[in-house]
Amino acid sequence: MDDEEYSFLRREGLVIDLFAGGGGASIGIEKAIGRPIDIALNHDPYALALHGVNHPRTRHLLQSIEDADPAEVVDGRPVFHLHASPSCTQFSRSRRALPAEKQLRDHAWKVLEWIRTTRPPIFTCENVPEFRTWGPLRPSGFPDRERSGEYWDSWTRQIRELGYDIEDRDVNAADLGAHTARERLMVIARRDGRSIGWPLEDHGPGRAKPWRGAHEHIDWTVDAPSIFTRKKPLADATMERIRKGVEKFVVNDPDPFFAPDDARVSHGLDDGSRVAAFLAQNHSGLAGRPATAPVSTICSKASGQSLVTISFMDIARRNSTGVDMRNPANTICTSGQHHAEVRISAFLAGYYRDGGGQLLDLRRPIGTISTRDRFALVEIKGAPHVIVDIGYRFLTVDELWNLSGFDTGKLKRDIIVNGRPLSATRQKKMIGNAVVPLFMQRILEANLHDEEIEYAKAA
């Protein structure tokens, strides 16, 4: 393809988002090319209504990809860029215990029909890395492991046979500067004779820039209720995850992350002078993530991320006393120095029936925190602190939108569909299904010439 034809398509060719959803890919594409996308397709009326409010210059088609005729949709107009994010839930490792749905797994075949019909110079596809295992299903509905990857190989081969160069790579959005560690398979195909580009992964350990921490989008004014004073106790598994996180990110971390001064544990047992925090992961037995790291992948239920806040009281001051969560202080300072013996009788108490205290000496290594061993004495930067309360809450919808890379200050959500507003549950589903805007922006920018990127910035 010569430069004149390419430049014409770059300016006038259609840009299409086949699985538009909440608009993550569309936002990223628009920022890269400097103009609105032309056509957005989706079967979900709520998702398409949200997309319509935020992309008013785009033509919206409330259709499933199975029902849409690509030739009819483009109506003879040339296409510059076609993007697709077929259903990823059918391939995700989290679905291994459930049979697959053939119709959803076959969406990629329909995408191939769109490529064959519209012949865009640039095609991109985003999915989970396990998409490479796409193959036939057994009669039971589970993938046939002996034929794993058979359809993937056929799909990519047929794209090459249409005259495309095609590459695929796993890319973590956090490595590109996003606030979420969302690793995705990215497929890029071109038939314009230009090389396929990949963005520089410039964020993270050992790279030019650090990861963008989740703490930047946490609203510290939102209450994090105490885990000790709830009417309905938290589940054992949740308490165990909290225990692991407190041990990893507070007890064994000499320099834990401290939240801003306005962060507090609400309705708790005591109000400490400082609040440390980390992010719990509810779908695993892991300790979680530090608040300075990107948030973990946000799923369609958005139930995987929670905030844990640990309230501290500094007891290092001369002749100061520690604070028991229920009783008068039992801390005895030794000659006003920093070494003290502390009796704590209620760490993680209230949930388990067998409370009890321990005598701890700061001159000995602090023991392993557990749901049975009661203590809350921690040395931070050489000074003893006592944990007086622990808060726990799910992240809010606004926080999740922001962590995914959407600007809630500009994101319009006041829509009514079939007489119903956009609920928090529906919004979380859209967030979990959304492409991270920055991820899509940097992918596409890597495939535009420098002068085109400058054009996009100017526009």
Question: Is there a domain that residue 244 lies in?
Answer: yes
Query: Token pair 């215990």 is at which residue?
Result: 97
Name the percent of the chain lying above pLDDT 90.
Answer: 50
The number of beta carbons lying within 10 Å of the beta carbon of residue 171 is: 21
Amino acid in position 17: D
DSSP one-letter string for 261-326? TT--EET-S---SEEEEEEEETTSSS--EETTSPEEPP-TT--SEEEEEEEEEE--STT-----SS
Sign of CA dihedral 434, 439, 443, 444: positive
Q: Is the pTM of this model over 0.85?
A: no
3-state secondary structure of 342: strand
Q: Please indicate, yes or no, whether residues 34 and 167 belong to a single structural domain of this protein.
A: yes
Q: To 5 degrees, how large is the angle CA 314–CA 317–CA 320? A: 85
Nearest to 345, CA basis, from 323, 363, 366: 323
- Among residues 341, 367, 395, which one ends one of the domains? 395
Question: Is there a domain that residue 405 lies in?
Answer: no
Question: Is there a domain that residue 400 lies in?
Answer: no
Of the chain, the end-to-end C-alpha distance in Å amounts to 25
Task: Band the pLDDT of 124: cuts 50, 70, 90.
Answer: very high
Question: Is there a domain that residue 402 lies in?
Answer: no
- Among residues 395, 420, 447, which one ends one of the domains? 395
Q: Which domain holds residue 354?
A: 220-395
Overall number of domains in the chain: 2
Chain centre distance of CA 446:
23
Q: What is the pLDDT of residue 72?
A: 97
Name the percent of the chain lying above pLDDT 70.
Answer: 77
Q: Per-residue pLDDT tens for 321-350?
A: 333 323 333 332 322 233 223 323 333 333
Where is 189: in which H helix or E strand? Answer: strand 183-190
Q: Please indicate, yes or no, whether residues 131 and 161 belong to a single structural domain of this protein.
A: yes
- Among residues 340, 364, 395, which one ends one of the domains? 395
Q: What is the pLDDT of residue 104?
A: 61
Task: Band the pLDDT of 296: cuts 50, 70, 90.
Answer: confident
Q: Please indicate, yes or no, whether residues 102 and 245 belong to a single structural domain of this protein.
A: no
Q: Please indicate, yes or no, whether residues 18 and 93 belong to a single structural domain of this protein.
A: yes
Question: Is there a domain that residue 215 lies in?
Answer: no
Q: Please indicate, yes or no, whether residues 187 and 205 belong to a single structural domain of this protein.
A: yes
Q: What is the CATH number of the domain that holds 185?
A: 3.40.50.150
